């Protein structure tokens, strides 16, 4: 049975033909049936969700409009602050910590009538591509429990794919929304940097992090971004200009839209993934778009630059976890010993690896040789994208080089794992929007995602192309 979309749920609840409480119980029943196998959540907020759903139904009965997401069950990645509710980042370092405030995105969802059903699992502090790095155990792909859901937002992607929540939020630093969206067969969007407030998002790499939605349909993603996007005075990097409605944008077809094929794209995509990408180009051409060849020469340097810039920012951001102010504390003979013991006990292997890499890149004698050069490459990547967008409105690439892979197949080789993000990372470095749209299946019938990229604030064109691909798959009209 095809699940109701968020738009359908909200319309029914606002009209009184659906009860928010009934919608919630349907989703809680699915959680009860499969969560022990999938492990999408670190925490299921049953009591809070039931209270929120009851309040929405009471508002409707009183003749009030709860908002455009009335009664829509939403899952929140467990690195977004929730007032009085544990926010762990899937790390022992923050286990049991209850923030004294809500993230702006969480506030905006609640104001729009959404019902938060739980906090989802992730790679610790959002560092990973498989959700195998969680301190609380891995999340499994609902399509095949022997395979990963992607990462780092694997719990959020799996929650939507399994029907545990109608929609969810994740964060994307180098592909952490788009890659799990591709592997789980859902829509995942990383908006332009600054499009959505980062206030209350626990920082990994502050110049790269961005919050975005997972949904079953492109229109639901447009609705979510219309709700959570917009300026926030609490985030100094938030874009002050008001953005156009993305739900309006997808009403336009793609006639005349210029879709770029990157001719110097790094090789590495499996044949089944490459085949679906070609099918996507064909579908957009058939829908009236024009396919043009472009070059982005610095694209292939994205992975190298990212794994200097992101760890450097992480080593700075994660220095706050010192056993003094909040979170885990391991007592020791003196302060320095306490710092070391706390961090060894609190941080997992991948987080420790990235902190050490970042600290090295920032250290005296190596800053200019590594971090400084990485920043110059970042500028080159952005410039190359800008030149490409002079000839194309959007670009198409694979989202992930492969379909979902088996547990343990890459965890012993960090470099193999990092290559999972080869097609997603350059967009984060440029600050541009990108999204993954399900476009058929590949090896062993597993989902394949096609990635659509656009220039700064190019979300309207990006969503037009996404909606056209979705129509080509017969998902929407």
196 pairs with which residues across the strands? 229
The residue from 152, 153, 315, 436 that is catalytic is 152
Distance separating alpha carbons of residues 324 and 116, to the nearest angstrom: 31
Other Cβ atoms less than 10 A from the Cβ of 207: the count is 16
The kind and range of the H/E element at 396 are: strand 394-398
Confirm whether 152 is a catalytic residue: yes
Going from the C-alpha of 14 to that of each of 223, 224, 246, the distances in angstroms are 15, 17, 21
Pick from 366, 356, 439, 351: nearest CA to 403? 439
What distance in Å separates the CA atoms of residue 206 and residue 208, rounded to the nearest whole number?
5
Instruction: Examine residue 152 and say whether the peptide bond preceding it is cis (omega within 30 degrees of 0).
Output: yes
Whether 200 and 232 have beta carbons less than 8 Å apart is answered as no
Which residues have C-beta within 8 Å of that of residue 452, sequence separation ≥ 6? 394, 395, 396, 434, 435, 436, 437, 462, 465, 466, 469
Tell me which residue has tokens 């992975």: 303
359-to-265, 312, 317 alpha-carbon distances in Å: 31, 6, 11
Phi first, then psi, for residue 59 (nearest 5°) are -65, -45
Q: Name the token pair of 299.
A: 């694209």
Q: Are 146 and 407 in contact (CB under 8 A)?
A: yes
Output helix, strand, coil percentages for the chain, rounded to the nearest 5.
Answer: 45, 15, 40
Active-site annotation holds for 119 = no
Q: Identify the sign of the CA torsion 81, 456, 126, 110.
A: positive
- What is the arrangement of strands in the sheet containing 394-398, beginning at the earlier edge strand? 41-44, 115-120, 73-77, 167-171, 211-215, 187-190, 434-441, 447-454, 394-398, 258-262, 290-294
From the candidates 156, 166, 176, 315, which is the catalytic residue?
176
Is 19 an active-site residue? no
Structure tokens at 93: 């370092």
Give whole-number Cα distances, 8 to 93, 166, 337, 462, in Å: 40, 10, 56, 23
Q: Pairing between strand 434-441 and 187-190?
A: antiparallel
Residues belonging to the active site: 77, 152, 176
């Amino acid at each position: 049975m095809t699940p109701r979309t968020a738009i359908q749920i909200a319309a029914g609840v606002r009209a009184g033909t659906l009860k928010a409480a009934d919608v919630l119980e349907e989703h809680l029943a699915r959680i009860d049936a499969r969560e022990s196998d999938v492990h999408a959540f670190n925490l299921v907020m049953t009591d809070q969700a039931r209270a929120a759903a009851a309040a929405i139904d009471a508002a409707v009965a009183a003749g009030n409009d709860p908002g455009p997401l009335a009664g829509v069950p939403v899952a929140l990645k467990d690195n977004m602050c929730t007032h009085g509710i544990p926010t762990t980042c899937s790390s022992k370092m923050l286990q049991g910590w209850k923030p004294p405030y809500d993230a702006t995105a969480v506030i905006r969802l609640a104001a729009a009538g959404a019902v938060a059903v739980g906090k989802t699992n992730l790679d610790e502090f959002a560092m990973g591509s498989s959700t195998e790095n969680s301190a609380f155990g891995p999340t499994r792909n609902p399509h095949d429990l022997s395979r990963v859901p992607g990462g780092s937002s694997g719990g959020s992607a799996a929650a939507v794919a399994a029907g545990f929540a109608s929609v969810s939020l994740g964060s994307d630093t180098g592909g952490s929304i788009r890659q799990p969206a591709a592997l789980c067969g859902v829509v995942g969007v990383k908006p332009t940097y600054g499009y959505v407030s980062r206030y209350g998002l626990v920082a990994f790499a502050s110049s790269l992090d961005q919050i975005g939605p997972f949904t079953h349909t492109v229109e639901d993603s447009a609705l979510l971004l219309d709700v959570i996007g917009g300026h926030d005075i609490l985030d100094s990097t938030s874009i002050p200009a008001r953005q156009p409605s993305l739900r309006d944008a997808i009403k336009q077809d793609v006639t005349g839209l210029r879709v770029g094929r990157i001719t110097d794209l790094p090789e590495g995509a499996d044949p089944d993934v490459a085949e679906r990408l070609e099918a996507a180009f064909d579908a957009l051409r058939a829908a009236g778009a024009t396919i043009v060849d472009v070059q982005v020469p610095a694209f292939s340097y994205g992975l190298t630059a990212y794994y200097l810039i992101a760890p450097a920012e992480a080593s700075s951001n994660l220095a706050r976890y010192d056993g003094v102010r909040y979170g885990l504390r391991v007592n020791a003979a003196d302060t320095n010993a306490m710092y070391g013991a706390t961090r060894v006990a609190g941080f997992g292997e991948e987080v420790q690896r990235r902190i050490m890499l970042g600290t090295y890149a920032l250290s005296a004698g190596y800053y200019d040789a590594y971090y400084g050069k990485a920043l110059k490459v970042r500028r080159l990547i952005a410039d190359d994208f800008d030149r490409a967008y002079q000839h194309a409105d959007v670009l198409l690439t694979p989202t992930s080089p492969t379909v979902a892979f088996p547990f343990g197949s890459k965890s012993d080789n960090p470099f193999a794992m990092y290559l999972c993000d080869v097609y997603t990372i350059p967009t984060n470095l440029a600050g541009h929007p990108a999204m993954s749209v399900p476009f058929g299946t590949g090896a062993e019938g597993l989902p394949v995602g096609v990635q659509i990229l656009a220039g700064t604030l190019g979300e309207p064109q990006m969503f037009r192309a996404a909606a056209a691909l979705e129509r080509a798959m017969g998902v929407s009209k």
